[in-house]
Amino acid sequence: MYKIVRKETLNDAAFEMEIEAPMVARKCEAGQFIILRVGEDGERIPLTIGDFDREKGTITIVVQAVGFSTKQLEKLEVGDEVTDFVGPLGRPTEFHDGLKRVVGVCGGIGAAPVYPQLKALAEKGVKVDVIIGGREAQYVLWADKFKTFCDHVYIATDNGELGTKGFGTTVLQQLIDEGVKFDEVIAIGPVIMMKNVVKVTKPYNIPTSVSLNPIMVDGTGMCGCCRVTVDGQTKFACVDGPDFDGLNVDFDELMERQRFFKKEEKYVDEHADR
């Protein structure tokens, strides 16, 4: 069993948990994910690793309580245990050689998976910036954590409550217009956000990495739900990713597939016995 050693509410939708999982913490790398279950009959929940502490043997995850299973997880408190915690899964992020300046663009809980990638780059001596987007100030996550190693932490909120009024892409476009040269952009957040980041970077041919964790279901390469077309080839986010070359991802097909089970998910959320 895997004990919850810290729990923090981040906003009205998301929470952060630090969970004891020494074997996972020892081996995991930026970009990888874990799968956990709450209870013997629990659904598998794939979550990208936000942070890890090899000495303490813990993994930090950030979760948005949007469906039945994530709401079950939200009910657990410090001292409680999750039934399964499997990982590290997926391919670690591959960092290209010769990077001088990289910017992460994150939306909502996407800040968590961007964090270990930018941190690893900063440790290699790459100059890193981050743009954190959220609907309102409460959805802007981990700004203080990023400040410990990022050159610039930019914030954008839809309503202008904090930082620039607009989206992460608004800030990214402004920086490009000002002549800031990024060797790579790492975009993680809702699929529509990643699609829009690619719309900004593609005309300049800026290599853009996206993480397709949001489309995973079982995380084992068997259910087929995370199928995605990248550069005309079929890939599985859980086996071949989660990171992909965003410039070549077929986002329209991906978004269409995401809508497949909306009705069933809503039904379970409304009718499941809690």
Residue ranges in contact with ligand FES by CB under 6 A:
216-219, 221-226, 236-238
Give the nearest distance from C-beta 120 to ligand FES in angstroms: 24
47 vs 238, beta carbon nearer ligand FES: 238
Which is it for strands 2-9 and 14-20: parallel, antiparallel or unpaired?
antiparallel
Whether the CB-CB separation of 97 and 125 falls below 8 Å is answered with no
Q: What 3-state DSSP class applies to 197? A: helix
- Smallest gap from Cβ 68 to ligand FES, in A, equals 18
Distance of closest approach, residue 190 Cβ to ligand FES, in angstroms = 17
In the complex with ligand FES, the residue whose CB is nearer, 107 or 241, is 241
| DSSP code at position 144 | H
CB of 98 to ligand FES, least distance (A): 32
- Name which of 99, 68, 77 is nearest 274 in CA terms: 68
Nearer to ligand FES, 15 or 236 (CB): 236
Start-to-end CA distance of the chain, whole Å, equals: 22
Give the separation between CA 175 and CA 261, rounded to whole angstroms. Answer: 38
For 267, the enclosing helix (H) or strand (E) is helix 262-271
**Residue 244 CB, nearest distance to ligand FES (Å)?**
13
In the bound state with ligand FES, the residue whose beta carbon lies nearer, of 39 and 224, is 224
Task: For residue 162, give both structure tokens.
Answer: 């904090």
Tokens of 198: 């690619």
Q: Which is nearer to ligand FES, 76 or 223 (CB)?
A: 223
Smallest separation, CB 174 to ligand FES (Å): 36
CA distances from 190 to 42, 110, 176, 196, 204 (A): 24, 8, 22, 10, 22
Nearer of residues 136 and 218 to ligand FES, judged by Cβ: 218
Going by their DSSP bridges, the two strands 51-53 and 184-188 should be labelled as unpaired
